[in-house]
Structures are given as C-alpha cells and as structure tokens.
A and B are shown apart, each in its own frame.
Chain A
C-alpha cells in the first residue's frame, strides 16, 4: 500500500459521485488515471484492505431488522456454536471477545419481527441463551479514518 492507496482510502470514505463516469471524476480529483483507480480499488478489495466499496445501506430505514447479540459460552462448546450461529445467512459479523460474554454477532433480517424468531431458533439449536441488545439510539456511525 503506497501514498496513492492511502489517499484513495482517506478521500473515498463517503461522497462517491452519482454520475455516468464517477471513477473518472474521482481519479481526476486525485490526479491519477481512471484505470489506475479501478485497478487499485480492485487490489485493495482482494487484499482485504477494504472490506467493501459501494453504497452503505441503512438496514432499519429500508425496513429490515438489526440487532447486536451476545452469548456466554464455555470453551468446550465454543466452536460448535460458532458453526451453528454462522450458518445463518442473517449473521453479518461475528466476533470472539475476551469477556464472559465471549461471542458477539450482528443480525440483519428482512423484517424487524424476524429478529425475535431467529433468536429463539438460535437458542434452541445451541442450547444457550442469547442476549439481545438492539440499539435504542444511535449517536454516531461513520468513519473518521485517517491513515
């Protein structure tokens, strides 16, 4: 990753244009060729330096359900439950964390009602309680990433 890549990441955290040739517009602003920009984005995605590139949708505003959930699992059952939980396509991310509540995952469902029924399914499959922690208010979601 070089200075141009860092410049691309810093300047493209939002505000990507909506027009016929948006990459050309951005490339001009950055002082590089359009083909170079496309190639660099592709490579940074391949190397997972970028998680994704494109529109970030607001799940709830689109009518979907979203929640953060946690589970308290004994070491011996951890991997089994990881597999069972991750098998659900509605599980968007899942992290092991150093705490009694040692598994934390985000559910994104097509409807808000589906969250509740999916939690019950996961509890029945795994035999463990799921702590449901849907957000009650959001104060800041964005990026202030400066490389």
Chain B
C-alpha cells in the first residue's frame, strides 16, 4: 500500500497483495527464524516487500501493533468485568479519555444507548485477579465520574462461548 492510501473516512485501500499478507498473518506470525520470509513464500513476493508493506500498515494504524496477546483467563485475571456507565453525552469523550488512561482498563468505548432498556453509553473493560478486585477498581471509576454518572453496572463474564479472534479478509 502507498503512503497516501488512507481515504477521508480513515479507511485504507488495500490491494490484493496487502490482503494476501493480512490473510497469511491474521491468525498469527509464523514461529520460525525468518517469519516474514515464510509469509513472502506464501504470498509469492520477496521478504523485503512483505516487510515494507507491513511497516506501512503499521505506520498507518492498519496494524495496531505486532506482539503477543496474553490470555487474561489462563494467566489468572479471572475477574474480567465489562463496566458500563451512563454519563451525559457531551461529556463522554472527556470521561472516555480519563478512564482509558487508567492502568487497569484495557478498552474504553462510546457506544449507543438502547432506551429505555439500556441507558449506558460508555463502556470500559476492567481486569483484575478476581471479582472483588474488579469491584474495587470499578469504585475508582465511579469516584472519578462523581455526580455525572447516572447509573452503572458491572457485567462479569460467566463463560467464554467462543474466542477465535478476528478474521478480517
């Protein structure tokens, strides 16, 4: 992909070779001494081209990062709680950024309400060793929001029903 290939809505225009690279690596990078060479062999281009295209995708944010994704569950962080908050719409961004900065929050998003059943517009994933640690951290968020929080809940996961990761192309 070229340096100017981000469109106005922040979507990248990938060509067929980029897509082939994504397909070859979205499940993981090969665990061999020269992983980019193996991807290159699969795609039918040189290792240098794989490397420069992946660097470009990284620079443009099409690749968020390259690394290891720890599994919170098997590593003992069993208290994964999805905390949801009802804050004034005009303050979602301000609070989203503050909450996202907390070191125990791994994701924070503004999402639509579904009134009257679902009044929450700010989501933050909180991780802890167990439920009480999650509750303690949730209380810290509640304190940060103060009176601007109308209501909140913690939705703990009771079971993983599927976890295959994203298949993008």
Residues of A within 8 A of B (CB): 1, 8-9, 12-16, 18-24, 34, 38, 41-42, 44-45, 47-64, 66, 68, 82, 86, 89-99, 101, 103-106, 108, 110, 131-145, 147
Contact = CB atoms under 8 A, between A and B. Distances in A.
Interface string B152-169: 010111111111111111
Given A34-B33, A140-B107, 10 more contacts: A18-B55, A19-B51, A21-B34, A45-B31, A52-B68, A52-B69, A57-B22, A61-B11, A108-B168, A141-B107
A51 B165 contact: yes
A96 B70 contact: no
A137 B92 contact: yes
Nearest to B18: A62
B33 A92 contact: no
B111 A135 contact: yes
A96 B159 contact: yes
Contacts of B107: 138, 140-141
B112 A145 contact: no
B155 A86 contact: no
Interface string B57-85: 11011111111111100110000001000
Given A41-B31, A91-B162, A8 B118 contact: no
B137 interface: no
Contacts of A103: 161
A53 B31 contact: yes
A47 B74 contact: yes
Given A96-B159, A97-B158, A108 B167 contact: yes
B157 A57 contact: no
A147 B22 CA distance: 30
B66 A55 contact: yes
A8 to B, nearest CB: 7
